[in-house]
Amino acid sequence: MRIELAKSAPENPTATGPGGAPDGSSPRRLRPGTAALTLGALGVVFGDIGTSPLYAIQTVFTADNGAVGTTPDQVYGVISLVFWAITLIVSVKYVTFILRTDNGGEGGIMALTALVQKLSFKSARSKMILVALGIFGASLFYGDGMITPAISVLSAVEGLKVSAPGLSEFVIPVTIAVLVLLFALQRYGTNLVGNLFGPIMTVWFLIIGGTGAVEVASHPAIFKALSPVYGVQFIVNHGMIAFVALASVVLAVTGAEALYADMGHFGRAPIHRAWFFLVFPALTLNYLGQGSLILRAPSAISNPFFLLMPGWAQFPMVILATVATVIASQAVISGAFSVTRQAVQLGVLPHLTIKHTSEHEVGQVYAPMINWGLFGAVVALVVGFGSSAALASAYGVAVTATFVLNTVLFLAVARVMMGKPRWMIVLGAVVFLTSEIAFFAANLTKVVHGGWLPLLVAFSVFTILITWQRGRRIVTPNRTALEGPLRAFVDEVDAMDPPVHRVDGTAVFLNANPETTPLALRANVEHNHTLHKNVVILSAVVERVPHIPEAERCVFDDLGHSDDGITHLTVRFGFMDEPNIPAALRLAAQHPDAGQIHGLQVDEVSYFLSRMTIIRTDAPGMRRWRKRLFMTIANNASSPVTYFGLPSGRCVIMGAQVSM
pLDDT in tens, 289-324: 999 999 999 998 988 998 998 888 888 888 888 888
pLDDT at 549: 84
DSSP for residue 430: I
Dist CA 399 CA 150 (whole Å): 15
Question: Taken in order 426, 430, 433, 437, is the CA torsion positive or negative?
Answer: positive
pLDDT at 23: 32
Whether residue 202 has pLDDT greater than 70: yes
The number of beta carbons lying within 10 Å of the beta carbon of residue 485 is 12
Dist CA 10 CA 545 (whole Å): 10
Q: Are 554 and 6 spatial neighbours (Cβ–Cβ below 8 Å)?
A: no
Q: Are 606 and 504 spatial neighbours (Cβ–Cβ below 8 Å)?
A: no
Q: Are 256 and 87 spatial neighbours (Cβ–Cβ below 8 Å)?
A: no
Q: Are 556 and 592 spatial neighbours (Cβ–Cβ below 8 Å)?
A: no
Dist CA 214 CA 84 (whole Å): 22
Longest dimension (CA), the chain: 97
Closest to 522 (Cα-Cα) out of 563, 482, 556, 581: 482
Q: Which helix (DSSP H) or strand (DSSP E) does residue 286 occupy?
A: helix 280-296
DSSP for residue 8: P
Whether residue 1 has pLDDT greater than 70: no
Cα 643 from chain centre: 19
Q: Are 352 and 371 spatial neighbours (Cβ–Cβ below 8 Å)?
A: no
Q: Which helix (DSSP H) or strand (DSSP E) does residue 290 occupy?
A: helix 280-296
Whether residue 189 has pLDDT greater than 70: no
Q: What's the mean pLDDT in 408-418?
A: 88
| Sequence-distant (≥ 6) Cβ neighbours of residue 106 within 8 angstroms | 263, 264, 546, 575, 576
Q: Which helix (DSSP H) or strand (DSSP E) does residue 653 occupy?
A: strand 651-659
Rounded to a whole number of angstroms, the distance between the first and last alpha carbons of the chain is 36
Task: Give the whole-number percent of the chain exceeding pLDDT 90.
Answer: 17
pLDDT at 344: 77
Dist CA 635 CA 613 (whole Å): 9
Whether residue 85 has pLDDT greater than 50: yes
Q: What's the mean pLDDT in 113-117?
A: 84
Closest to 78 (Cα-Cα) out of 293, 242, 253: 242
Residue with more model confidence, 121 or 135: 135
* Average per-residue pLDDT for the chain: 81
Between vectors from CA 308 to CA 307 and to CA 310, what angle results, nearest 5°? 80
User: SS3 for 452?
Assistant: helix
Q: What's the mean pLDDT in 155-162?
A: 80
Q: Which helix (DSSP H) or strand (DSSP E) does residue 315 occupy?
A: helix 311-345
Dist CA 442 CA 465 (whole Å): 28
What's the number of CA atoms in the CB half-sphere (13 Å) around residue 377?
19
